[in-house]
């Protein structure tokens, strides 16, 4: 009987209510953490899509402004093998570049300009020439 009336054992044992509060607090923290992580991931994905669409629009704008015959035509009327001077300079974000040609694959619907120099920021816009001479140049 003495054991039933004693309150020392009840003080040492944690109440089920406090255990429930700890779990509830942990699950709330976990939910908020996952929610913030999901929002950050979605924001990063949206930024990447925006950047891709911006570069795609720039590539198509360059493609529509470029005349392929003006890239390779000779100014001379004697049809000698003269070097073609590519004076079509385009600028984006303060960097200038020129177009060497156009790549077109009709089966899969690919139309892109080919940029004269290789840089990673230009590679996001269109394919770049990595190595070799310019058109109408001997290596």
Which has more confidence, 125 or 32? 32
| Residue 8 confidence (pLDDT) | 54
- Map the chain to HEC letters: CHHHHCCHHHHHCCCHHHHHHHHHHHHHHHHHHHHHHHHHHHHHHHHHHHHHHHHHHHHHHHHHHCCHHHHHCCCCCCCCCCCCCCCCEEEECCEEEEEEEEEEECCCCEEEEEECCCCHHHHCCCCECCCCCCCCCCC
Which has more confidence, 9 or 122? 122
Query: For 20-70, what is each residue's pLDDT tens digit?
Result: 677 788 899 999 999 999 999 999 999 999 999 998 888 888 888 776 666
Query: For 59-103, what is each residue's pLDDT tens digit?
Result: 888 888 776 666 555 555 555 555 555 556 777 666 778 888 888
Which residues make beta-bridge pairs with 96? 91
Mean pLDDT of 11-25: 66
């Amino acid at each position: 009987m003495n054991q039933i009336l004693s309150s020392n054992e009840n003080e040492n044992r944690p109440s089920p209510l406090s255990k429930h509060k700890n779990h509830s607090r942990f699950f709330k923290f976990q939910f908020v953490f996952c929610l913030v992580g999901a929002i950050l991931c979605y924001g990063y994905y949206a930024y990447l899509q925006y950047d891709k669409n911006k570069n795609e629009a720039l590539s198509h704008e360059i493609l529509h402004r470029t005349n392929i015959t003006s890239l390779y035509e000779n100014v001379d009327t004697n049809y000698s093998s003269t070097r073609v001077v590519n004076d079509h300079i385009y600028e984006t974000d303060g960097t200038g570049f020129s177009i060497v040609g156009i790549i077109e694959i009709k089966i899969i619907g690919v139309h892109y300009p080919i940029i004269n120099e290789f840089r990673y920021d230009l590679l996001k816009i269109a394919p770049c020439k990595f190595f070799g001479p310019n058109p109408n140049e001997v290596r």
